[in-house]
Amino acid sequence: MLLYGVSLVCTRIGWAVQGTFDTLSILVSLRQGTIEVNMIGPCKTGRKARGNAARGFSLIELLVVVAIILIIAAIAIPNFLRAKLQANESAAVASIHAINTAEIAYSSACPSIGFSATLLELNTSTTCVGGSGQIDSSLASGTKGGYVYTYLAGSGSPAPTYALNVDPLNRGVTGQRSFFSSEVSVTHVNQNASASANDNAIQ
């Protein structure tokens, strides 16, 4: 949870209205990308308040609130997006591990077939009944958590190999890094382009 707060309690706004100073209590916070603004005022300062306690806020008071929100947003939103991007990458690595594990189970259940022909086969298993339900339907569709999973089974019967490329749907937004894995169950990573077996392995 991201939480940024600015509290201006009973602070003089600093302009004169009918010979008195208005005051305003402001609380601004950002939780999980949602901005909340609570304004409580006017505060009692011992001086004559303008109007009654039920009066609305002036344009200048609202501009002060907007300025505070913009400052907080400029700091908090980039951090929120960065955290979301990193979470998607971590989920992608976990999904790659799940696919590699599922392929081992599938090929063990159906040695005459070898590795699955598609990711969907790891879920529905129309060819090998004993290999059904190895991964969830969302992952089997090839798109999950801001990443696209491109699977290619090797030729031969039984299928001896497979290749798995995992790339962000929108690089820099849903994820930054790309990943590659295969039947050897080692995940490789590339920071800026589609990964391959020649890229560094994740330790």
The residue from 25, 47, 81 where one domain ends is 81
Residue 169: give the domain boundaries: 89-190
Q: Are residues 148 and 124 in the same domain?
A: yes
Q: Are residues 70 and 120 in the same domain?
A: no
Q: Are residues 182 and 121 in the same domain?
A: yes
Provide the domain count of the chain: 2
| Locus of tokens 């010979």 | 19
Predicted pLDDT at 98 = 96
Predicted pLDDT at 73 = 86
Reduce the DSSP state of residue 122 to 3 states and report it.
Answer: helix
Q: Are residues 56 and 110 in the same domain?
A: no
161 pLDDT higher than 50: yes
* Concatenated DSSP letters of 79-109: HHHHHHHHHHHHHHHHHHHHHHHHHHHHHHH
Predicted pLDDT at 40 = 47
d(CA 72, CA 78): 11
Burial (Cβ within 10 Å: 0-12, 13-18, ≥19) of residue 106: buried
